[in-house]
Chain A
Amino acid sequence: MTATMIRVLIAKPGLDGHDRGAKVVARALRDAGMEVIYTGLRQTPEMIADAALQEDVDVIGLSILSGAHGTLIPRVMRLLREKGLERVKVFVGGIIPDSDIPDLKASGVAGVYGPGTPTADVVKAIRDAQGTPQPG
């Protein structure tokens, strides 16, 4: 089991102070057998990329409700590339207008999940991205 352990960094970039959704996802990923590094509120893109490097994560989940995704996410993606972490898959959750999704995906984001997404879908998307089969 340890050989295929998936490590996920969950972070909230920017200034909004609402992390209920991020916590729900963190809990769901733990219950799916992943190791979740939860970094808390108000993370800068630099803090997120640096934590991803030190923790050697496979996946980053970013939760943004503030509307600042258009500037914050491309910065995270650029920093990850600069650090040689382009293999890390980035998923975004929160309030993201549909019209912004193509731009986020173009910047390298692997998936965008809005409110109401069943946590099982997120778990499956992460497992698929890591090439790990669903158990059972």
Chain B
Amino acid sequence: MRRERRSPGNPLRMPTLTERIAAGDRRALATLISRIEKHDPEAPAILGALHERTGRAMVVGITGAPGTGKSTLVAALAGAFRRGTAGHPPRTVGILAVDPTSPFSGGAILGDRIRMRDLAGDEGVFIRSMASRGRLGGLSHATDSAVRALDAAGFETILIETVGVGQDEVDIARQTPTVIVVESPGTGDDIQALKAGILEIADILVVNKADMPGADTTFESLCAMLGLGGGEGDGWKTPVMKTTAATGEGVDALAEAIHRHRAYLRESGEGRRRERERAEADLRERLRERLFERWRQSGRMDLAEMARKVAARECSPEEAVEELLK
């Protein structure tokens, strides 16, 4: 980017990637997300230049165990937002669909688009599949930056579908203002739900595949479990909703609930609080990465050699760290 001529008076000047994304150029957006994923050294500067254009999108995370129908629900939700619902006009939709990277080969099969074919051909929709690339917690390290890229490109709603992890979806709660946890009948008993801590991160709980046997039982046990929580006070009361994503049943109501949650975040000040928390967590992580990198480049000590010593019980990890920081 820096090599391009920047004089605004020059009509022959190529528009920068930043300008193309701001103008809604889909190819430029796709290129930026790839650069983010590849740790391209120019990506941070491009994102930095786009930062002031971000913060406008309604960002929604959708998580839940594998096979609960997340992809189909995301596709149906995107359709509902594109059509508009009773109380809200149509909105453009960006989708980030994260699937797991194979721990053995480093490769991945990203199959979420299979369920999203009804959205094909709509210029108001942009779908990007991302591999988790070894990151735990259901997201890729690049997800957060990719959300900002979609936001800067002007997508009004951004849906993030996480890897079906099941028990540790904390990442998504940290990164998105509204979290939907998807359950379906017959995926584990209620103790599973308690154990996973999903009730704590869900802003909206969805029982998908509501036309299947056992859906009412799942619905009722989730309602009962939420009742057990108690003491949430005057804040948001997590609704439990039934959907059948494959037919679209209940999906408009879910889209409306997402709008309601966004209004709650805005009016209660909770949204700003979460945004600050998110920004702080993000800064901590960046700082940690940069400090580590600076330490590594100082080249004072050999990490691998120290690891050998610890493994050989020649010194403890505690002593090793003290030594490495000297």
The answer to whether B108 and A35 have CB atoms under 8 Å apart is yes
Chain B positions 98 through 109: 1 when the CB is less than 8 Å from some CB of chain A, otherwise 0: 000110111111
Chain A: residues with Cβ within 8 Å of the partner, total of 33
A34, B110: Cα distance in complex, Å? 11
Whether, in the assembled complex, B131 has its beta carbon less than 8 Å from a beta carbon of chain A, the answer is yes
A31, B108: Cα distance in complex, Å? 8
Whether, in the assembled complex, B111 has its beta carbon less than 8 Å from a beta carbon of chain A, the answer is yes
Chain B neighbourhood of A44, CB < 8 A:
120
A5, B33: Cα distance in complex, Å? 13
Known: A54-B126, A54-B128, A56-B34. A27 touches B109 (CB 8 A): yes
Whether, in the assembled complex, A105 has its beta carbon less than 8 Å from a beta carbon of chain B, the answer is no
Whether, in the assembled complex, B31 has its beta carbon less than 8 Å from a beta carbon of chain A, the answer is yes
Whether, in the assembled complex, A106 has its beta carbon less than 8 Å from a beta carbon of chain B, the answer is no
Give the residues from 32 to 69 in chain A that come closer than 8 angstroms, CB to CB, to chain B.
32-40, 42-44, 46-47, 50-51, 53-56
Contact of B102 among A31, A39, A84 (CB under 8 A): A31
Give the residues from 29 to 56 in chain B that come closer than 8 angstroms, CB to CB, to chain A.
30-31, 33-34, 37-39
Closest to A4 in B: B38
The answer to whether B108 and A38 have CB atoms under 8 Å apart is no
The answer to whether A54 and B26 have CB atoms under 8 Å apart is yes
* A62 CB, nearest partner CB in chain B, Å: 15
Contact of B109 among A26, A43, A50 (CB under 8 A): A26
A74, B38: Cα distance in complex, Å? 31
Closest to B125 in A: A54
Chain B neighbourhood of A3, CB < 8 A:
38-39
Chain B neighbourhood of A27, CB < 8 A:
109
Contact of A40 among B31, B105, B114, B128 (CB under 8 A): B114
Chain B neighbourhood of A30, CB < 8 A:
102, 105, 107-109
The answer to whether B107 and A56 have CB atoms under 8 Å apart is no
Known: A50-B120, A55-B30. A37 touches B105 (CB 8 A): no
Chain B neighbourhood of A37, CB < 8 A:
110, 113, 129
Contact of B27 among A35, A51, A53 (CB under 8 A): A53
Whether, in the assembled complex, B261 has its beta carbon less than 8 Å from a beta carbon of chain A, the answer is no
* B258 CB, nearest partner CB in chain A, Å: 23
The answer to whether B107 and A29 have CB atoms under 8 Å apart is yes
The answer to whether B128 and A32 have CB atoms under 8 Å apart is no
* A121 CB, nearest partner CB in chain B, Å: 17
Interface centre among A5, A31, A40, A51 (most CB of B within 10 A): A5
Q: Indicate the size class of the contact surface on chain B.
A: 20 to 34
Contact of B33 among A31, A35, A56 (CB under 8 A): A56
* B23 CB, nearest partner CB in chain A, Å: 15
The answer to whether B30 and A56 have CB atoms under 8 Å apart is yes
Whether, in the assembled complex, B22 has its beta carbon less than 8 Å from a beta carbon of chain A, the answer is no
* B185 CB, nearest partner CB in chain A, Å: 25
A71, B92: Cα distance in complex, Å? 33
Whether, in the assembled complex, B148 has its beta carbon less than 8 Å from a beta carbon of chain A, the answer is no
A24, B103: Cα distance in complex, Å? 19
* A23 CB, nearest partner CB in chain B, Å: 9
Chain B neighbourhood of A1, CB < 8 A:
106
* A119 CB, nearest partner CB in chain B, Å: 13
The answer to whether B110 and A47 have CB atoms under 8 Å apart is no
Whether, in the assembled complex, B127 has its beta carbon less than 8 Å from a beta carbon of chain A, the answer is yes
* A58 CB, nearest partner CB in chain B, Å: 9
Chain B neighbourhood of A50, CB < 8 A:
120-121
The answer to whether A2 and B38 have CB atoms under 8 Å apart is yes
Whether, in the assembled complex, A81 has its beta carbon less than 8 Å from a beta carbon of chain B, the answer is no
Contact of B105 among A26, A31, A46, A47 (CB under 8 A): A31
Please list the 10 inter-chain residue pairs (A to B) with the smallest Cβ-Cβ separation, ordered nearest first.
A30-B107, A40-B114, A56-B30, A47-B120, A56-B34, A33-B107, A33-B106, A38-B111, A33-B105, A37-B110
Residues of A within 8 A of B (CB): 1-3, 5, 7, 26-27, 29-40, 42-44, 46-47, 50-51, 53-56, 83-85
Name 14 interchain pairs, CB-CB below 8 A, sorted by A: A1-B106, A5-B106, A31-B107, A33-B105, A34-B107, A37-B110, A38-B111, A40-B113, A40-B114, A46-B120, A46-B121, A50-B120, A51-B113, A84-B27
